[in-house]
Amino acid sequence: MRISYLRFDLSKVTGVTIQKAYLAVNLWMNMGATGSIGVRHVPSDTWGEYTTTWNNAPPVSQTVYDKNNTVAPEGYYFFDVTSPVLASIYKKTVSLALTPEDGREFSVNFDSREMTSLGRRPYLAIVTPNKAPTVQITYPQSNAVVGDVVTIRMSMADEDNDKLDLDLEIDGKLVGTLRQTTSTSTTYNWDTSTVPDGTHTIKTTVSDGKTTAQHQISVIVNNQNLAQQIESLRTQLTRTQSELETVRTERDALQSQVSTLQTQKTSLETQVRNLQGQVTNLQNEKTDLQGQVTRLNTQITNLQNEKTDLDAKLTAANAKIVQKDNEIVALEGNVYRLTNELETMRQDKATLEAKVANLNGEINGLEKTITEKNIKIQNLEANATALQEQIDGLETEKAALQRTVLNMTQTIAGQTSKIDQLQNLNSQQNATIQDRDERIESQAEEIKTLTTEKTALEDRIKKLQWTNTLAIAGTALGIVGAIIAAAAYIKK
């Protein structure tokens, strides 16, 4: 035994009254089997399209809502599933099951939603109640007076878009029909001269095949006084045309006046525009002139400021000129003074040169004196050396005599007179030695004095030579300074 599960989305089934619901499935292969197939409700909607097996299949309702006996023909089979659909509409989903219902094994095949051809897939047909069509005679209006040929206009509609059949009757007699139309309006030309004057009825009826609707009106046909009415209307028309002509003439006159006034208005507007243009130009000129005045004022202020600056600079320059004049006078004074100084220095230099010549003469004299003194010193030193040699000889003799005296004193005790003589001699010789010592001392003092004098003279010579050099150098420096000062003045 096999069970087929089907599930349908009901979310778009809203705002309608469900009159009936049918499950439609397409039988595409039947190998000659016969058997009863029923449809049951599946309360669960959570079963998987590809995962449901015999073991996890959701339970189905006990109730069999509809049955079909499958025989031979292939094609759609319909099952009434109104009850399960109404019971499930709140869930926006319904699940159904196709089940074998006569206890026998048999095999048939239905197309699933994977079938490529739309016309073979299963579907759920929702049947809603029919909505009645509507119809209305829109012209003429009820109780209107009509004549000649009247065009009767009708409009019709059906909310379900059903095709409509329409009948038109005049005084109960069918005069026009329209079959299976989808138009929403139609007309009929009624020649009222074919009927007597008076009240007549017009009635139109539409049907969508299930429900009918109709609209009926009465109209009054009046064709008898038509000729008279036309004549009267013609008279009125002539009168009206005459009035119209008068009115046209008046209108033309007024239009002419209006035209003249408009021309004047245009002319005045042009004048006004020109004047406004002139005013604008004058205002612009005024603005320009004000701008120029402002700029000129600014320039005047700037020039005054510049003048003030220049006056200040002029004053400063004059002060500088005075200062420079003073400096020039001072420099001229300096030049004069330096020139004088230079002259004085030249004279000083000549004087110093004369002095130097004199000093050179003096130095030459002193050098000569020094040479003479040196010769004298050499002589005195030679004398001193000779005297020293004599002293040394006498000292040697004295020592020899003293040794002899000692020898004689030891050997000859009695020769006192000889000793006395010898003592006298000794005393005399001592006096001579003392005299000579004093002379040597005196000569040494003299040498010392001469040496001191010589040193003093040499110092003086050096000093004189140095003074002479300084004087020459000082004079040269003075001249150079004066020349530099003069050059600096010339540069200025």
Which residues of this protein are in contact with Ca ion, per CB under 5 A?
130-131, 158, 160, 162, 208
Nearer to Ca ion, 26 or 207 (CB): 207
d(CA 383, CA 442): 12
Between CA 70 and CA 77 the distance in angstroms is 9
- Least Å distance, CB 212 to Ca ion, is 10
3-state DSSP assignment of residue 137: strand
Closer Cβ to Ca ion, 130 or 214, answer by number:
130
| Minimal distance, residue 131 CB to Ca ion, in Å | 5
Compute the least distance from the CB of residue 204 to Ca ion, in Å: 17
Q: How far is the CB of 79 from Ca ion (least distance, A)?
A: 26
Q: How many C-beta atoms lie closer than 10 Å to residue 388's C-beta?
A: 12
Q: Which is nearer to Ca ion, 66 or 208 (CB)?
A: 208
- Select 67 or 131, whichever has its Cβ closest to Ca ion: 131
In DSSP notation, 452-470 reads HHHHHHHHHHHHHHHHHHH
- Least distance to Ca ion, CB of residue 132, Å: 6
Of the pair 24, 132, the CB lying nearest Ca ion is at 132
171: left (phi over 0), alpha (psi -120 to 50) or beta: left
In the bound complex, what is the minimum distance in angstroms from residue 164's beta carbon to Ca ion? 9
Task: Write the DSSP assignment of 438-454 as a string of letters.
Answer: HHHHHHHHHHHHHHHHH
**In whole angstroms, how far apart are CA 472 and each of 271, 353, 356, 479?**
110, 8, 9, 11
Q: Which residues pair with 203 in a beta bridge?
A: 169, 216
Q: Shortest Cβ distance from residue 11 to Ca ion (Å)?
A: 26
C-beta of 91 vs 210, nearer to Ca ion: 210
CB of 144 to Ca ion, least distance (A): 31
- Judged by beta carbon, residue 3 or residue 18, the one nearer Ca ion is 18
Report the sign of the C-alpha dihedral through residues 262, 263, 267, 270, in that order: positive
Dig out the tokens for 412 from the structure.
């000859």
Is-cis flag, bond preceding 43, omega within 30?
no
Nearer to Ca ion, 181 or 339 (CB): 181
Report the alpha-carbon distance of residue 262 to residue 248 in Å, rounded: 20
Q: Which of 64, 58, 62 is nearest to 79 (CA)?
A: 64
- Provide, rounded to whole angstroms, the least separation between the CB of residue 210 and Ca ion: 6
Rounded to a whole number of angstroms, the minimum distance from the CB of residue 209 to Ca ion is: 8
Closest CA to 3 of 71, 57, 51, 46: 57
Cβ proximity to Ca ion: between 120 and 131 the closer is 131
> Considering beta carbons, is residue 185 or 434 the nearer one to Ca ion?
185
Chain-centroid distance, C-alpha 422: 141
Distances (CA, A) of 322 to 315, 317, 318: 10, 9, 6
Cβ(70)–Cβ(37) under 8 Å?
Answer: yes
User: Taking the CA of residue 120 as centre, how many other CA atoms within 13 Å lie in the half-sphere pointing to its CB?
Assistant: 13
Rg (the chain; Cα; Å)? 85
